């Protein structure tokens, strides 16, 4: 907690002596938990990974006002009356499903190509609601004025905003005091664990039935040489590599000669 995703990445670069590394899905500085990191050519795979739903555990403090919606910028704390636990569960359940959400003003979300926290025009910010989905949400603990809940959400959902909206629906200000990302699709927090990317791709495998040297050399490929000829994006293993291809009217490479683990 309390280090940026970039700072954490830099510590890993130094630790492993790797210059090219990247991460998928920035964690807020006050948050902790799951962060998917890739090095070298694997940084190109982020968009093909199965990272949904994302699961978080969060603690919301009722009565706390923070413009950043979290513990980093709390300005005021007011005493609030205790709430019936069933009422909290009812409010949490009301957030299930597809809905629109406004990104926090203090966030790295790009709006018209500009980070939200750099926007001067409040209207530019308020007009940019995003489509999200809450797949599951449940109360873990209520120790007044702290509500701890778990939520599984679509990619791009802001849990800080969700916490604020929960507090608002209960009739109070609210800010997160704790946030942990426990899962991203099949990825889950297990310290620094190396992974085989093929086990986490959201695209199906296809099989090339001709000479694998054609793939190694990046030659033009014929649709008839693939086991699956239906239009779509696939990964194909060959020799000590794999490729990501797209089948349409013809076959084109998206990525090629990515080394197998």
Angle CA 152–156–157, to nearest 5:
50
**Cα gap 134→28, rounded to integer Å:** 20
C-alpha distances (whole Å) from 247 to each of 50, 151, 174, 205, 234 are 20, 36, 49, 12, 8
3-class state of residue 223 by DSSP:
helix
CA-nearest of 161, 65, 149 to 109 is 161
Strands 146-153 and 130-143: what pairing? antiparallel
Q: What is the DSSP string of 96-114?
A: -EEEEEPPPSSS--EETTE
28 flagged as catalytic: yes
Rounded CA-CA distance 195/38 in Å is 10
Torsion of CA 133, 145, 70, 59, to 10 degrees: -50
Yes or no: say if 167 and 174 are a contact pair by the CB < 8 Å rule. Answer: yes
List strand residue ranges (DSSP E) for 53-173, in order.
54-62, 64-65, 76-77, 97-101, 110-111, 114-115, 130-143, 146-153
- Per the DSSP assignment, residues forming a β-bridge with 255 are 244
Catalytic member of 28, 70, 120, 225:
28
Catalytic positions: 28
């Amino acid at each position: 907690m309390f280090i940026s995703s970039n700072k954490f990445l830099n510590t890993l670069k130094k630790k492993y002596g790797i210059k090219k590394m990247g991460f998928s899905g920035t964690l807020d500085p006050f948050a902790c938990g799951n962060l998917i990191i890739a090095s070298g050519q694997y940084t190109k795979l982020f968009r093909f990974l199965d990272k949904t739903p994302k699961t978080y555990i969060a603690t919301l403090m009722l009565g706390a006002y923070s413009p950043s919606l979290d513990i980093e910028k709390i300005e005021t704390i007011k005493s609030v009356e205790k709430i019936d636990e069933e009422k909290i569960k009812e409010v949490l359940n009301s957030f299930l499903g597809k809905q629109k959400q406004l990104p926090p003003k203090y966030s790295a979300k790009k709006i018209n190509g500009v980070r939200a926290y750099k926007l001067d025009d409040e209207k530019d910010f308020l007009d940019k609601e995003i489509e999200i989905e809450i797949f599951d949400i449940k109360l873990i603990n209520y120790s007044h004025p702290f509500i701890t809940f778990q939520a599984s959400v679509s990619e791009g959902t802001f849990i800080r905003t969700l916490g604020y909206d929960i507090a608002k629906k209960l009739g109070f200000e609210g800010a997160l005091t704790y946030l942990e990302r426990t899962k991203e699709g099949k990825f889950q927090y297990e310290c620094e664990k190396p992974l085989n990317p093929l086990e986490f791709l959201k695209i199906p495998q296809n099989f090339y039935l001709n000479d694998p040297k054609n793939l190694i050399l990046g030659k033009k490929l014929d649709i008839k040489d693939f086991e699956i000829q239906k239009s779509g994006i696939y990964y194909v293993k060959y020799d000590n590599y794999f490729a990501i291809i797209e089948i349409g009217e013809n076959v084109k490479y998206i990525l090629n000669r990515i080394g197998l683990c």
